[in-house]
Amino acid sequence: MSSAVEPPPFTSSGPTYRVGIVGASGYTGAEMMRLLAGHPNFELEVMTGDSKAGTPIADLYPSLALAYRGRRFEAFIPEIVDGLDVVFCGLPHGVSMGVIPEIIDSVGVVVDLGSDFRLKDPLLYPNWYGAEHSAPEYLPEAAYGLPELFRSDIAEARLIAATGCNAATATLTLAPLLAARLIAPDGIVINLITGVSGAGRPPKENTTFCTVDENVTAYGLLTHRHTPEIEQALSVSTGHDVSVLFTPHLAPLNRGILASCYGRPTNRPGTPPDTREVLEAMADYYRDEPFVVVDERSPSTKAVTGSNAVHLTGRVDPRTGLVLGIGVLDNLMKGASGMAVQCANIAVGLPETTGLATVGVYP
């Protein structure tokens, strides 16, 4: 059993949109530059990186040398993006909320890859992020950037809060199970394995080679900041009041996420769900989605590396009765830059598959 919709091939026809990246020197910025170098309708004009201002792009990322020959990262000032059609923000948490109010009225669409505008309730920010939100007036209008669940909101938005990589994996795995009422909305357990690039480019003690190599670590125990994002996305999209226990694990991978999600079957008349019903529910839910594959095969992170694809499967354990959903994606692609490009395509009216690959890099 599998489900996927083959996207149309890339085409250079149609309008050209002027694009900028604020915070282009990090991993998500570099991945965005890679994608935009092959995007037929987006022309990348501005690439800022304050800590690397003046640095040739090829010096920091030799992989981009041919695409951006002679170009350098620029220092950010709000006026640098005036008149652009799309601006991507690849800034650390807490920075976007100060930058976006300065630019949003002078550009077409802003797609924020950070977490500053994902949560609708401003009171959640001090609880989960440790600081007050400095621009709460923009939270109601920010569309949550997960196209498979909130496509119509994205199409009408001028501010899009692209979904985080952890939340995207867990939400896409669990949404069909909740929508089909196969699992209860409370007591859901999410165990997630993530690659090191999710922590960003700047060096940290817990992401050095000697710390990460041959090591797996659980972190953010009980308090990980993506918990309310997952609960909000699932609650809004399925109409249930969802609660989850989310535990991420850092593994020695460059990129990739695998989420194993466990739920109790709902109390319903008749027989409990079985594996066939779970797989059919997933396949039906994503039948028309160009980037989602549902299959009996257990998905692997390497299968999606470099692509905007999500691979899902599901099982029911007849011994315990628990329902299991598994999802994988590339955290820098469908979990960040690929997701942001998909959202931007929708916002400007392009086919959402434009410039995005469904085929991973292997080996």
Catalytic residues: 165
Tokens 């001090």 -> residue = 126
User: Residue length, the chain?
Assistant: 363
**Is the CB of residue 181 less than 8 Å from the CB of residue 237?**
no
- Identify whether 203 is preceded by a cis peptide bond (ω within 30 of 0): no
Of residues 233, 161, 147, the one with CA closest to residue 190: 233
CA distance 240 to 262: 17
Q: Are 91 and 23 in contact (CB under 8 A)?
A: yes
What does residue 120 show for φ and ψ, rounded to 5 degrees? -80, -30
Q: What is the edge-to-edge ordering of all strands in the sheet holding 217-218? A: 2-3, 292-295, 310-316, 323-329, 257-263, 188-194, 244-250, 217-218
Helices (H), the chain: 27-37, 57-60, 96-103, 124-129, 147-155, 165-179, 209-212, 227-238, 275-285, 338-348
Cβ–Cβ under 8 Å, residues 111 and 340:
yes
Site of tokens 């109601």? 140
CA dist., res. 291 & res. 30, Å (int): 22
Query: CA triplet 141, 144, 149: central angle to 5 degrees?
Result: 130
For tokens 């990246």, the residue is: 21
Angle, alpha carbons 251-144-291 (nearest 5°): 60
